[in-house]
Structure 1
């Protein structure tokens, strides 16, 4: 039997997983996007369906003015005595938070806050129910802090102590603690979440150690290896209901030379075997393949949502959609014009670390196309609405309707760091237009056409994927396809209406 990696494509880094009988639940980092901490469900560890998000209220997730790649870092999900627990760090507001729920697809609790240095919190419930809370120092060296915490209040019951500093790689982080066959195992990521990323492990007689490192560390890394997958690390181990062991981890799929990746850090799955010395071995020789030949659990695929059009006919947004930071409630609506998404533009643009009128979804496939039906009439200079391909506030492309020198026009624009240019302008008298993007591994092609039936698309411009890649744009996220609107003045503005949005993978 075989399966294909990554098992969750697109920007879904720092995966953490737990099991409840024959069901599996996984969470990932979400940074400045709202709602936060996407949560997935699987019956086989290979096929995952998105249930929604753990943090979906402003009280749970404060992202106002969060910097790009700020916000939510590295969650951990665990199940203990009938209840799900999730801990994460909001580096832009509040620090470590802990929430819980009896239903992972339902509403989660209000957060309790835990005062401890660092990032990347881990939750470990020992056999007597004691909750050990471990965090990375967040520094280039140092190590892993640990304390005992009351899960109901977040109060620390002991002072944080350094329990292990790793093997000497920079940024020892992403701790996860396990109890296996009478021994406590502590797994870390080291080397930074770039091309030197790796997974190391140690074991000891108690949750606090002392920990002795595995002689074969790192147990997972693709550094300096010829592989289509790079930067593997930040792993979490899980024992399946059939007794087999698995690891989820993050990795990237770079394109070209020099290597650049734009889809973000994705979620990968690898089999785990325990050797005679009692250490886990991940994948094949500490590496992960795109096509993995392994005895999996009985496969349980979910109905595919690839290529489905979102008509915005529902009472709520689909689980694939995110806002940039906390959305302003009066800036978007599904009811103002039923069957359409309405965006009411503000003066906040995509160039700011703020909350623009924006709604986006991840790019999850190299080869794909997106399109949307926009109805918008700009009234003043600077009024604008359209479709963006966005990595962060300093690196993005747009195709949009706007007004320039009193004329309504269609524009294609690039924002690449300090370089900004409207590449092309086309007079456009109609209020309706179909905007599109065709993507492959190398480029984005931007298209437009009349909303009249039978109209053909024309190309307005193209942009390199590599210019939006992390190696150029920086940060920890991945590409979003977004719908947006801007108000060029303090006066009232015509709303932007989006009738539908298509996302269609190709050649998958």
Structure 2
């Protein structure tokens, strides 16, 4: 080894050892999460029913594919690390998480990205002609842009990134039955032809399976603007191409991922068009119903189709469940509906009516959610002692690998704090799970005694680096305090402080009833004392904070504390 390199490594190790011995130990254990949504209590399942959303909380932009009897589903992850969660099912009802598609820093370069940058709209496809799975997506804020990775087995690791030579977003692959491959994606209209804000086009390229690259000069615009350009439709995007009975079908989202969101469909005799829109578009939307309706589901769109185990088609799509003040704190979730394709065009069954909490399961399927290792839904609980060597896949980090700051011990998870804090566009030492219910309770046991005023450990409710709550333990003049801080538009305000004596581990809690959030602590894990009264969850809502994410609940430590007492 080069002597200079060796000396640098020795110096680096010494610095890290010095930091580690000067910092307090902080160990999180006994995490408990309980969903408390009234809609599930009021709508118990019958034997042939299931809940939709099938993935609650921040699991947006679903895409699905199948090989034989196996179904695989992926979601957008933005700057969460690892990226692109991937799920497996045999029946579309019972799902297990396999892990993440992008699980290495070489694949996911989001270290300085905002939360709603990073990975947009992944599309997963299986090509039977070379027995290969592909995941194609857009990686924002990294200089990568459109990209793909592939694998023979989604249970194993995926390839390194192949950068693709075209602009735009939301790419999706299509493998025709003659062995040819194509890419469709959203793009800007040709320079000088944009007619209004939100005017976009859908392009198609031929794709070279040997080079894993689009074929130069094969691009063609197949949809301009949307279903009817004269009506100035906005944000035609998230295209997927299918083939059925010799016809080609192009399905896209239209209207933007908000309350005008919808799904539309086109048909052609060729993958390159011309494509004719269905006369009954949209085939899925919630935009026509009163805003103030009970058990509202909204923003439905960004869909993908698959043939189910009962030879019936189904569609996955995103939707949101606003709380009583119409806030969207759980983010965009993954829904499922059966699809009627008995006519020329597919139509989501009851997709043009107000969506309900329950749907009929595919025939012959037994609902095992929450059992036998399958992910739960409804009003489930998630309890984790945090002492398993391999953490549950639901625990994620922000902008970098959790392995860089997490050590699992027999007593729980030790977080080796970074100098960055939740307001930074950088990797932060926080271990996150998604808020998956409008109303919930979450608590964790924390063993921590700060040694300096730069240390903070506790919990955070995190919508982004600019919108979050922090509830944690700090030191001031050799005394310990619990602090509650609210950050809105990057500006922080201290809401409450309480002096405490740390003679033993402490239990921290956050709970929400719709828009009303409360933070509290307990010394025995039973009786919790509120700090800061009731605070608004408004800053944890997408419609206030902007972006495309949902709220994350974090176990958080930093040696870059900037809370001012």
Q: Is the 8 A contact 2:139 2:146 kept in 1?
A: yes
Q: Which residue of 2 aligns with 1:102?
A: 152
Structure 2 gaps, min length 5 = 1-47, 190-197
1:437: which partner in 2? 510
| CA pair 50-454 structure 1, distance change in 2 beyond 3 A | closer
Would the alpha carbon gap of residues 291 and 145 (structure 1) be closer, same or farther in structure 2, given more than 3 Å must change? same
Alignment partners' CA distance in 2, 1:83 and 1:260:
41
Is 2:301 the partner of 1:233? Answer: yes
Tell me the distance in 1 between the aligned counterparts of 2:154 and 2:338.
25
Instruction: Indicate the larger mover: 423-432 or 191-200.
Output: 423-432
CA distance in 1, matches of 2:465, 2:79: 11
The answer to whether 1:314 aligns with 2:381 is no
Deviation at 1:339, TM superposition (A): 3.6
Return closer, same or farther for 1:460/1:65 CA change in 2, 3 Å cut-off: same
Within 5 Å, give how 1:45-64 maps onto structure 2.
45-64=92-111
Q: By how many angstroms is 1:204 displaced?
A: 0.7
Structure 1 residues 252 and 454: alpha-carbon distance in aligned structure 2, compared to 1, 3 A threshold: closer
CA RMSD, Structure 1 to Structure 2 (Å): 2.1
Q: Distance in 2 between matches of 1:2 and 1:25?
A: 21
1:86-485 to 2 correspondence within 5 Å? 86-93=135-142, 94-137=144-187, 140-159=198-217, 160-165=219-224, 166-167=226-227, 168=229, 169-226=233-290, 228-257=296-325, 259-276=326-343, 278-284=344-350, 286-287=352-353, 289-294=355-360, 296-300=362-366, 301-302=368-369, 303=371, 306-327=380-401, 329-334=403-408, 337-430=409-502, 432-450=505-523, 453=524, 456-461=527-532, 462-485=534-557
Q: TM-score, normalised by structure 1?
A: 0.90
Flag the 1:415–1:330 CA change in 2: closer, same or farther, 3 A. Answer: same
**Which ranges of structure 1 fall in alignment gaps of 5 or more residues?**
490-508
The alpha-carbon deviation at position 285 of structure 1 amounts to 5.8
Moved more, 219-228 or 64-73: 219-228
Secondary structure of the equivalent of 1:262? coil
- Equivalent residue of 2:543, what SS? helix
Specify the SS of the correspondent of 1:236: strand
Task: Please state how far the C-alpha of 1:173 moved relative to its aligned partner.
Answer: 0.3
- Could you tell me how far apart the structure 2 residues matched to 1:443 and 1:195 are? 23
- Offset from partner CA, 1:381-425 (integer Å, 9 cap, x none): 221011011111111112101112442211122112254222221
How far apart are the structure 1 equivalents of 2:186 and 2:180?
20
How many residues are aligned here?
484
Deviates more, 1:45-54 or 1:14-23: 45-54
Q: Structure 1 residue 467: deviation in Å?
A: 3.0
For the structure 1 residues 454 and 222, does the alpha-carbon distance in structure 2 shift closer, same or farther, using more than 3 Å as the test?
closer
SS at the partner of 1:189?
Answer: strand
Q: 1:348–1:356: 8 Å Cα contact kept in structure 2?
A: yes
- How far the C-alpha of 1:328 sits from its partner, in A, is 7.0
2:80 paired with 1:33: yes
Q: Aligned partners of 1:285, 1:358: CA distance in 2, in Å?
A: 38
Please list the CA deviations of residues 89-108 of structure 1 after superposition, one character each: whole Å capped at 9, or x if unmatched. Answer: 11122112211222212211
Distance 1:351 1:241, change over 3 A: same
Contact kept, 8 Å, 1:19 with 1:240, in 2: the verdict is no
SS of 1:202's equivalent? strand
Provide, for residues 270-304 of structure 1, a one-character-per-residue CA deviation record: whole Å limited to 9, x for no partner.
Answer: 1111254x011112263462244546233342416
CA distance in 1, matches of 2:188, 2:441: 38
Q: Is the 8 A contact 1:311 1:340 kept in 2?
A: yes
SS at match of 1:471: helix
Paired with 1:297 and 1:41, the residues of 2 have a C-alpha distance of 19
Q: Is the Cα–Cα contact under 8 Å of residues 119 and 138 in structure 1 kept in the other structure? A: no
Partner Cα distance (1:215, 1:321) in 2: 45
Deviations 1:212-262 (A, max 9, x none): 1111111111113135111110010111233201111101111234x2211
- Shift of the alpha carbon at 1:198? 0.7
Which sits farther off after the overlay, 353-362 or 133-142? 133-142
Deviation at 1:138, TM superposition (A): 6.0
User: Do residues 44 (structure 1) and 84 (structure 2) align?
Assistant: no
State the secondary structure of the residue aligned to 2:214.
coil
Give the whole-Å Cα distance in 1 for the aligned partners of 2:422 and 2:82: 18
Instruction: Indicate the structure with greater helix content.
Output: 2
CA distance in 2, matches of 1:206, 1:430: 70
8 A contact 2:265–2:278 mirrored in 1: yes
Q: 1:295, 1:449 → 2: CA distance? A: 42
Are the structure 2 counterparts of residues 151 and 111 from structure 1 closer, same or farther at C-alpha, using a change threshold of 3 Å?
A: farther
Q: CA deviation digits over 1:65-97, x for unaligned, max 9?
A: 012200000011111223221111111221122
Does residue 1:83 correspond to 2:132, yes or no? yes
User: Which digits, 9 at most, give the CA deviation of each residue in 1:185-230, with x for residues without a partner?
Assistant: 0001011001110111111111111111111111111113135111
Aligned to 2:27: none
Of structures 1 and 2, the one with the larger relative CO (CA 8 A, separation 6+) is: 2
Whole-angstrom distance in 1 between the partners of 2:525 and 2:199: 61
